[in-house]
A and B are shown apart, each in its own frame.
Chain A
Amino acid sequence: MKNIRITILFSLLFVFGIFAENPVPVKTPKGETEIVVAVAANFKNPMEEIRLSFLKQNPEINVKLIFGASGQLTTQIQNGAPADIFLSADMDFPLALYKDGYSLQGPKVYAVGVLVLLSQKEIEKTKSISELLSSENIKFIAIANPRTAPYGKAAVEALQSLGLYEKLKHKFVFGESITQVNQFISTGSADVGFTSFSALYGNEDNFRFSQQVDPKTYSTIHQGAIVIQSKEPKSEEQKIAISKLFDYLFSTETKSILLKYGYKIPEK
């Protein structure tokens, strides 16, 4: 009896599962084009604002955003994820996609990231970064994985040029992306962490201490954008919509949003 019930339950789950896997195609109102943008986690907040201001000018274009670590998004795009534009946190990932033929043009720098040291604790700002990180009160320093996260790479570079990397190695904890580093810092489980300056925006309560890392100590974080060539041919409307949004990333409206969120404007 019990087995029969379980069988019925599972067949039901299975059937519904199938429906869940294949959602009914979303009906877009007439004349509306949908485009999908894959965005690096650190750029989430500014991108949401860019999307809104873009929609004001182009109400007929429906922009969908996907967020994740740049490396993860790259892997997904290589495996057929439906993205039309990819905004990475660096140049390497979009460059790799371009070389593999996922794009007709190389990446273009849409923003310059700023590396910052944040803490949830109130730390005196008088100390130098070396003094601060070496102090005994700092047990854990959160860094994004330098192999996959551009801000992690920049943090490691900065630590190396300050001659601290080997000395402080035992204090490092690694987040999978900048998002996770922000969690480590804002929960206080890590005493300080290296993250993007934009993390501070709107979260001033979570981070009582912030100090910009000297830009001379790490290579500039160029964030690159590319248009993804999909396997299925795109409609004319879609192509126009994609290039409209891509151009919008370099407009004056976007520049003011970038500055507001703690990014620098890329030099021409």
Chain B
Amino acid sequence: MIFSFDPIWLTLELAILTTIVLTLITIPIGYWLSFSSFRYRFIVEAVLNLPLVLPPTVLGFYLLLVFSPNHWIGGWVEDVFHFRIAFSFFGILVGSILFSLPFMLQALQVGFSSIPKTHIETALVLGKSKFEILFRVILPNCKPAILAGMILTFAHTIGEFGVVLMIGGSIPGKTKVASIAILEEVEAMNYHAAHIYASVLVVISMIVLLVLFRYKRSVSMVLAENV
């Protein structure tokens, strides 16, 4: 019976970082998708939502190919930074970000589309810049949507396993997250240890979700819209 808190911390670290990075990058993407008049917007949308369709292990396998030194991207990173993305925390972070991107994006777009056009038009007439409109009008009105997206991303990453399995290499303290630890314990028939990891995960996630749902009734509205 080998139990260590490392995988749990690693999972939380991964979930928190994924959530922060995704929030930062999906706001501009979602804003552009919701308000631009670009003709081929739907193509961009389809591509960004591909991770919803691909099984995580397949997404992980493609990433493994891209991160490998034989691929021009992986090779370039290796030559310039002397760093291999596969088998690193950075690698599983990239994987988790791509994997949860559609969830965050969907939640944001629901929020953006719920803002009455008149608000935005009024702001435009008053001579506000697009930037100002985003920060003064749109985002304040989308708080529940952003939060819902963050919850979805966080929860999604906690349970994520396929992508990490493919590109992580189960290195203790680096890429061996709780979901991988659980799999390994189950395969080694240490059900007891697997139960412990699983219950710790469930308790932590439950606390996070309870806190959020307790204080944000509106979040559940957005989540319901999302379904």
Where the two chains meet, the residues of A that have a C-beta atom closer than 8 Å to any C-beta of B are 6, 10, 69, 71-72, 74-75, 96, 120, 139-140, 142, 145, 147-148, 172-176, 180, 183-184, 187-190
Contact = CB atoms under 8 A, between A and B. Distances in A.
Nearest to B86: A189
Nearest to B171: A173
Contact of B189 (A75, A174, A183): A75
A175 B169 contact: yes
Most buried by B among A6, A172, A173, A190: A173
Contact of B187 (A75, A142, A172, A183): A75
Contacts of A175: 169-170
B184 interface: yes
Interface residues of B, number: 25
B64 A140 contact: no
B112 interface: no
Interface string B163-174: 001110111000
B227 to A, nearest CB: 7
Interface string B156-193: 00000000011101110000000010011011110000
A76 B69 CA distance: 37
A189 B189 contact: no
B86 A145 contact: no
Given A139-B84, A174-B171, A184-B169, A189 B184 contact: no
Contacts of B61: 183, 187
Nearest to B180: A176
A176 B183 contact: yes
Contact of B184 (A6, A75, A147, A173): A147
Interface of B: 61, 64-65, 67-70, 74, 84, 86-87, 165-167, 169-171, 180, 183-184, 186-189, 227
A120 B184 CA distance: 27
B169 A69 contact: no
Contact of B170 (A74, A75, A139, A174): A174
Contacts of B68: 187-189
Given A173-B171, A188-B69, A189-B64, A140 B87 contact: yes
B167 to A, nearest CB: 8
B189 A96 contact: yes
17 contacts: A72-B187, A148-B184, A148-B187, A173-B169, A174-B170, A176-B165, A176-B180, A180-B166, A183-B64, A187-B70, A188-B68, A189-B67, A189-B68, A189-B74, A189-B84, A189-B87, A190-B169
B64 A69 contact: no
Contacts of B65: 187
A72 B170 CA distance: 17
B184 A176 contact: yes
Contacts of A176: 165, 170, 180, 183-184, 187
Contacts of B169: 140, 142, 173-175, 184, 190
B82 to A, nearest CB: 9
